[in-house]
Amino acid sequence: MTRTLTAAVLVVLLFSLGACGGSNGSGSGSGSGDSTGSATSSSAGGSSHDSAAVKAISDSLMNAQKSGASTSDLLSLDRKDADCIATGLVDKVGTAKLQRYGMLTKDMKVSTSLAGVTMSAGDADATTDVVFSCTDVEAMMQSAMARSGALPKQVRACVSKVMTEARLRPMFSKIFQGKQAAAQQQLTAPLMECAKKARP
């Protein structure tokens, strides 16, 4: 049972960490042909700094999926999703704060993923709202769990039922506040129940 619970926690946390972007320090420099996508025309905030920030974040989200990193298999964002998240972050959190949090450098390159920042509770909630409004987080999580093969089918079905938006939103907010341990603890009880149900 412990092994099943651990696998469940890892899958959910890997998904949540991966879905929020990779730490591609090269920013837009290593993107493929689609890195000149619609993010370049975003007018978040109206300034050139904001447009550069949107493009850098969107490119980083896309590059994270192409990098072959361990979390890349859990990502399923397309360019439209990445642009939406990037624009939302710049609009709701702001370029200056993203720089202060260490996600963006002064020259508008992504220096760390969202999972690596420590935001205020308000900004973490705003970021969570952006992620959930731009993507179907529950569907992505279910797809990621199915692809991972880490959980038996019965446990997957149970986790899908208990990992609702109401439970996932506070978890994401805690992750964006740098409280990964608290986020994992929040999942322990429902996942433990799933593991118990899976016992022969």
**Which sign does the torsion angle of CA 48, 50, 51, 55 carry?**
positive
Which of 95, 199, 97 shows the shortest CA–CA distance to 154? 199
pLDDT at 116: 75
Ordered by start, the domain boundaries in the chain are 2-197
Entry pTM: 0.73
Phi-psi region of 32 (alpha: psi -120 to 50; beta: other; left: phi over 0): beta
pLDDT at 136: 86
Q: Which residues of the chain have pLDDT under 70?
A: 1-46, 67-76, 115, 147-150, 197-200
pLDDT at 94: 95
CB 146 within 8 A of CB 198: no
Q: How far apart are CA 54 and CA 75, in angstroms?
A: 19
